[in-house]
Homo-oligomer: A and B are copies of this chain.
């Protein structure tokens, strides 16, 4: 994990870092991220680098905590900071998906039940219609355990990215999920509404009647997400 020779992608606009910090705080504020979990973005100037906090609870992340990694998830300049054990999830998602610029790994509470049964997690509302195609589920035993159900190396991260395929969300059995998007606002939207849709679907399933899922021809990616971002950021940052 030597990194003396990994050049930085260069300085990043503080507003971009602020949004990455806000994303972490927003998802913690809504209970999608617990005391672990993490949000990353691809480096705006170098697609071979990504930005992720040092190991720290998402609700406490600050701009100064953001570190830079290459796609092997080696740090550009570690400065002795402790790193997330599961950062390989991010590196391999960025490597496998050139269209992806933002990644969330969460233990989204109501997603867990869908990861341990074969009940499909699919969209039942317009806001979550990015889930219309369903969520593949990653079984870590298929690639071999290292530390419990955690993803702790590039091999496991790559296997997860392969299961994700071209989808926005992959479930991780007994663990949580991986959420990807083209930008930071969209990945926050997706991580939050995967949880909300899971709650609503659990209720709908309890009725024991046929469910009208959103069909793929009904799905529509939101064109702008500024309104929700404004209010979520205000609430999470206490402003």
Residues of A participating in the B interface, judged by any CB pair closer than 8 Å: 34-36, 55-57, 59-60, 107, 109-110, 112-113, 115-119, 123-127, 129, 141, 145, 147-150, 173-176, 196, 199-207, 209-214, 217-220, 227-228, 230-232, 234-235
Q: How far is the CA of A60 from the CA of B115 in the complex (A)?
A: 36
**Number of chain copies forming the complex:** 4
Chain B residues with CB under 8 Å of A219's CB are 148
**Can you report 12 A-B residue pairs in the complex whose CB atoms are below 8 A from each other?**
A35-B227, A57-B227, A57-B228, A60-B231, A110-B203, A112-B200, A115-B125, A125-B175, A126-B149, A126-B174, A202-B203, A202-B206
Chain B residues with CB under 8 Å of A213's CB are 116
B57 contacts A116, C-beta separation under 8 Å: no
B35 contacts A228, C-beta separation under 8 Å: yes
- A218, chain B: closest CB distance, angstroms: 6
Q: A35-B227, A57-B230, A174-B212 are in contact. Are A207 and B145 (CB under 8 A)?
A: no
Q: A147-B220, A174-B214, A205-B207 are in contact. Are A113 and B124 (CB under 8 A)?
A: yes
- A13, chain B: closest CB distance, angstroms: 25
Minimum CB distance partner of A127 in chain B:
B107
Q: A55-B227, A148-B220 are in contact. Are A204 and B126 (CB under 8 A)?
A: no
B124 contacts A204, C-beta separation under 8 Å: no
Chain B residues with CB under 8 Å of A112's CB are 124-125, 200, 204
B174 contacts A150, C-beta separation under 8 Å: no
CB-CB nearest 9 A-B residue pairs: A148-B220, A35-B228, A57-B231, A113-B204, A126-B149, A117-B209, A113-B203, A119-B207, A116-B212
A107 contacts B125, C-beta separation under 8 Å: yes
Chain B residues with CB under 8 Å of A150's CB are 126, 220
Chain B residues with CB under 8 Å of A56's CB are 227, 230
B206 contacts A206, C-beta separation under 8 Å: yes
Q: How far is the CA of A124 from the CA of B116 in the complex (A)?
A: 7
Q: A112-B124, A200-B109 are in contact. Are A206 and B205 (CB under 8 A)?
A: yes
Q: Residue A110 contacts which of B176, B200, B220 (CB distance < 8 angstroms)? A: B200
